[in-house]
Chains A and B, each alone.
Chain A
Amino acid sequence: MADNKDEIYSESSECSPSSTSPMGSKYRYLFHRLCGSWNTSSNPEARRIFHRDVEKEEFQYASSHCLTSYYSVFVVRLAIMIMLAILIGLLTILTWHFTKIYTTKSLKSLAYGLRYELLQRPILRMWNILNSTSEITTAQVKLSQYVIRRYSNPATQAEQVELYEAMRAITWSLFASRKALNSITINYKNGFVQAFHRDLKDNNTFYIYSDLANYSMGASNSNEINSFSKHQAWDDKSLHGNYSAIWYREPLDPVSGEKIGKAMKIAPEDLINIAGLSQVPDGVASWHVAVSKFTDSPLLSAALPVWDSSNKTIMAVVGVTTALYSVGQLMRELVELHSGHMYLTSQEGYLLATSTSAPLLANSTKPLQLKMAVDCEDDVIRQGAEWLQRTYRNNFPPSHEVHVENVKLGHQRYYIDSFFLNLKRLPLVGVIIIPRKYIMGQVDERAFKTLVILISASLCILVIGCVCILILTNGVSKEMNLRAELINQLEARRKAEASSNYKSQFLANMSHELRTPMAAVIGLLDILISDDCLTNEQYSTVTQIRKCSTALLRLLNNILDLSKVESGKLVLEDAEFDLGRELEGLVDMFSVQCINHNVETVLDLSDDMPKIVRGDSARVVQVFANLINNSIKFTPSGHIILRGWCGNQNSSVGSPNFPLDQKKLQSLQKCREKPIASQAKRASINDNKVILWFEVDDTGCGIDPSKWDSVFESFEQADPSTTRLHGGTGLGLCIVRNLVNKMGGDIKVVKKEGPGTLMRLCLLLSAPMDVTEQQCAVDLTENGFVVLLALHGNMGRLITSKWLQKNGVCTMEAADWNGLTQILGELFHARSSAHNTDFDAHYPAKEEFKSKLLNIRDMRNPVFVIVVDIGLLDLSTDIWKEQLNFLHRYFGRAKFVWMLNHDTSNNIKMELRRNGHVLMVNKPLYKAKMIHILEAVIKERNLELQRKTLTAPRMKEGDLHEFLEIDSTQFDATSSDDSDISEIGGSNPVSTNGDKPVEKIAKSHPSSPYHMNNALVNENEYLEEHNMGKEESSSPSASYGTGDNQPKSQSTNESSVSTEDQDEDSGCGETQRVTSSSKTVHGKKSLEGLKILLAEDTPVLQRVATIMLEKMGAAVVAVGDGQQAVEALGCMFTAEDCRGESLQKGITPYDLILMDCQMPKMDGYEATKAIRKSEVGTGLHIPIVALTAHAMSCDEAKCLEVGMDAYLTKPIDFKMMVSTILSLTQTSLT
């Protein structure tokens, strides 16, 4: 994971971080999807709570995960930073290097040239000096030779003097021509000295000569002199030491050479060196450096001998000295220009010239000595010389040339270069010391500055780069963290969804397991209740237990339904059913509950509602049951109205103020139509969809508008405090919405005026085309009915009267006893007496009423029907009897119909019956009941008419006692014929509701030709029946109809189909009461005539099942395994092959096979497969019912897969088995 992350990381960092890698886009997609789903989830709050546990768990994982990712990010950051640093450093160094190296190189070569040039110039000067000196010397020598030869052998003193004078003139001319000359000396053989000297310091010129007195001035003395001079000439010492010659010095005018001062006596050799013979020992020119007293610079002196004409003797020695002062001067000038130091030394190391003004002569010693370079007073020169000496000692390179850079002298670096000038007899070494600063100073400075700038710049870049990287990677790492978190979240979400799914799945799978024991409990309680031997107390206790069990089962069913709907397992049935009847039954049921609450339940269905629709009746009923139940809970007083009308899907929606827009509806229909398209096709091509609108309107506490949507959520209640008061789990409305949505409808709470809640829902159901709407068989207008509704409930009365008026029936209403009497009085007394002033006085305002009365009076032969609520009578005291008597007065003139409460005591009923009031119906009153009443009235009238015409009143009144009970529990699928009055005259002697009370009545009126549900019911029994019916309506329809196993629903299917088939009904009806079969009189042998093949290996089970079946009248053949079963059938097939006719007739030896699944030799599955295989082509299909101990749905699926038709679990439930068998055999028969 970490590696992966690094990869992504580096990837995204290598490209620009903004560019999305494919990975990124994927994540982004996931993220968007998550966002989307998050947004669409309607209730994130609940979801969050749900997720909390998971999140907590995830958190630890994520934190450790984060740490590792943090480290990896850290390392990567570090690496990138280091790389950046190296890059920038390299760049810096390279830049610096290139800039510096090239400048340095070029500068160095330039500097070398400069240095060379600098040094060359003083050396050249030196060279010049030497040259000029030698030239002068040579010239002097040549001139001297010439002069001396001319005056050779001067005989006289005068000649001698003349010679000397000539020599002086020549010498002066030479001396004057060369300003740089320090002196010219001529030392004659006889020791006479002539010299010109120039003092360079004060620019004085002197002529120095020795005293002539000492020498022979005349010719006489010439020999003497010659000898002397000869002697002197050859012995220089004698000249210097022993002879105390007197020298004179005359200052001369430097330009003209005129004597300007008096000659002064000076000591010999005091001023200048006079070159003597000693200096030219071998007669060639000699060079040497000398020091003079008068100059502090060394002097270059050259000496040459002057030969006589024969070239044998030296006549004189000429010496020329040149001050090296000018070299120093030049050096100084150069150094001033260029800085640095220069010096010239002799080969031995004596300083000849320096660029400084430091003295070149050692002061301390006497006579003056030249200094060595190392002793120079100038620090730099001394140090340079020392360094040279130190470095090279005496092994100078052969040319004596040294070029050294970067020599540290003192605190500075210097270039040191030395050149060697190899003059004959005077080799010279020139050294130049130039501070490096002078040449490279700027460069070094620049280089340093550049370096500093570069380094600082690169540091800045580095820092900025690092910061950038930090910021960027921070973003990236954040993104990474987010992504990781996202992945975790997704994972958590998936897990949570999975666990939620498991839960739903589990519940859905558990449904069977949960319901079965409950059904067993209730069934057993039924058995117990039907038992005779219970005392009253026990009976009530058991009844109580049964009620509780039913409640528990209902709750269970709710939860299971919900889970089933949520897990998507619910499959809606598609069967025809009578919607009106279902709803009537529902209202009947709830009205019983409501009467105690002082709440009126009213059913108001419009006439255009299709009577028969296709759909899942149980689910539709469940929807309304839940809604009404809810309303009842929250409605302490007032009314609950269930309205229904039909809205054609093509026309505009029926109710104009309905907010649901057309588009939504159509889309709704579309998505509804798709999944059931195939189903619908199979069912009926002529089906046309109708939208049915319903409203459940109550006057309860109402729902806060903010909760209008949330009440449909699971476990949501509008007001949590109501749980205490009313109980309930909050599942009801959720189930309702789920179911309604599943049926292609919608439900919502609608704003209503006044207190209470108005739920409006639409259902999309298909109405079969071929079933033409059954209009009322009786044309109500024809018969001239006048209906007086004396009812308590305002709403019900109003709705009924409205409907009647719409159908052209004249109605009148009364809300209480007084009203009734008054209207009666008006109606009948007025008819007879035509006095109605009293009435007018009482009801002066009711003009409408009056006009109605007038209308009625105009009517020809009206039939008065007075519907009286039993509640109008004062039942608490005995007054009701008087009231009854009062009403009895009108008995002949009007038909009384009594609306009974479910708890109306038997006494009253008896009394009514005794008085001839035979038309009694239970509350509430609704359309269908009204029609029945009117039809019954017509029938009765017709009968009476017949009776009157045919015979005398032969019959006793009692025989005619009728209790018109319109069965309120008929929406149960098991019901057969109901209060359809057209059947009254028919022959249907079977009591449909095979209960004890009916049974008793059947006994008491065995010969009654058209008793329908004639019942002399005692109060208790009646109540019980009602309850039972009610519970039955909820439990079987719920447990059977909603069951996920097909056989059950199939059985329901079949029995509902059989409703149409009146002939078969009786048996079916009875199967519901099979547990009390020992007491049933009729239809005990419900399986009469059936031949059943039982394949079961366990002898015990075999025996039990056989007896059970035989008890029901079936013929049983038992076999031990599947093989035998197949063989038994095989015979049949082969036998039938022979008898073709019987095959065509469809007569089979067995009507049904009960097949155990686990059997030796050949198990049930194999056997079934074999049987089905053999049936191919014969057109036969023997119903096979599986018997298995595995109560798993997968087994069930397996059973159905191999071709079995139904499925029973062991131990065999008697009831279930019989009903299953019946449903299957009837299918095969029909």
Chain B
Amino acid sequence: MDGIVQLQRQLVDYNASLFHEGFLDDQFNQLQQLQDESNPDFVVEVVTLFFEDADRLLNELTKALGQPSIDFKRLDAHVHQLKGSSSSIGAQRVHRVCISFRNSCEEQNVEGCLKNLQQVKHEYSLVKSKLETLFRMEQQVLAAGGSVSR
């Protein structure tokens, strides 16, 4: 039982640290609130959707930026999508980079775009790993028979 409590505490701490370090924002909380008996894996589901979407978009972005003549309009649309989905799950830092990415797109600043793409990728991988860790911990807690309190 102590183990569970410890795990739970760890989970809570980790969760708090994510918010504290700015990876996530209130939107994520809302997601968690939306999760209930009828949708037990709602958060995981949405976040997984996000991962898939983001992977696809990042690929598109990389491709688009790799081309000799860059279609900034398309680029912008992609970034906009990424921005929307990241803000929906509360991936705050990704969201922020997306904003500056869009600015670069508007200025048609290729270097800025590339830099921002790198940053987005970085932030995305970070948040991805963080979230995966979080989910893993939740799984552990659940497996241990505890409940994930929110």
Contact = CB atoms under 8 A, between A and B. Distances in A.
Contacts of A1189: 80, 83-84, 87
Contact of B88 (A1100, A1110, A1158, A1160): A1100
A1103 interface: yes
Nearest to B27: A1211
Given A524-B26, A1099-B53, A1211-B27, A1104 B84 contact: no
Contact of A1100 (B26, B39, B89): B89
Contacts of B39: 1107
Given A1078-B33, A1211-B88, A1103 B83 contact: no
A463 to B, nearest CB: 71
A1100 B53 CA distance: 8
A519 to B, nearest CB: 13
B46 A1103 contact: yes
B14 interface: no
B97 to A, nearest CB: 15
Contacts, number: 59
A524 B26 CA distance: 9
What is the interface of chain B mostly: helix, strand, loop, or mixed? helix
B31 to A, nearest CB: 6
Given A524-B26, A1107-B34, A1099 B85 contact: yes
Nearest to B89: A1100
B122 to A, nearest CB: 20
A90 interface: no
Given A524-B26, A1107-B42, A1101 B84 contact: yes
Interface string A1200-1221: 0000000000111010000000
- Band of interface residues on B: 20 to 34
Question: Which of B26, B46, B84 has the most chain A CB atoms inside 10 A of its CB?
Answer: B84
A888 interface: no
A1104 B80 CA distance: 17
B53 A1104 contact: no
A1100 B48 CA distance: 9
Interface string B2-15: 00000000000000
A1104 B27 CA distance: 10
Nearest to B76: A1158
A1104 B83 contact: no
A1214 B30 contact: yes
Contacts of B33: 1078
A524 B27 CA distance: 11
A1211 B49 contact: no
Interface string A1095-1112: 001111101100110110
B26 A1104 contact: no
Contacts of B85: 1098-1101
Nearest to B98: A1189
Nearest to A1111: B34
Contacts of A1214: 30
B45 interface: yes
B81 interface: yes
B50 A1100 contact: yes
Given A524-B26, A1107-B39, A1189-B87, A1097 B81 contact: yes
Interface string B21-54: 0000011001101101011001001100110110
Given A524-B26, A1107-B42, A1101 B34 contact: no
B84 A1099 contact: no
B150 to A, nearest CB: 10
Interface string A1063-1103: 00000000000000010000000000000000001111101
A1098 B42 contact: no
B89 to A, nearest CB: 6
Nearest to B99: A1189
A599 to B, nearest CB: 41
Nearest to B49: A1099
A1111 to B, nearest CB: 6
B15 to A, nearest CB: 15
A784 to B, nearest CB: 58
Nearest to B54: A1100
A340 B125 CA distance: 135
B70 interface: no
Contacts of A1097: 81
A642 B52 CA distance: 63
Contacts of A1111: 34, 36
A1098 B88 contact: yes
Contact of A1158 (B46, B77, B90): B77
B87 A1104 contact: no
Contacts of A1107: 34, 39, 42, 46
12 contacts: A1078-B33, A1100-B46, A1100-B84, A1100-B89, A1101-B84, A1104-B31, A1104-B89, A1111-B34, A1189-B80, A1189-B83, A1210-B84, A1211-B90
Interface of B: 26-27, 30-31, 33-34, 36, 38-39, 42, 45-46, 49-50, 52-53, 77, 80-81, 83-85, 87-90
**A-B CB proximity, top 7 nearest:** A1100-B85, A1101-B88, A1100-B50, A1098-B85, A1099-B49, A1100-B88, A1107-B34
Given A1100-B46, A1104-B89, 8 more contacts: A524-B26, A1098-B84, A1100-B85, A1103-B49, A1104-B46, A1107-B39, A1158-B77, A1211-B90
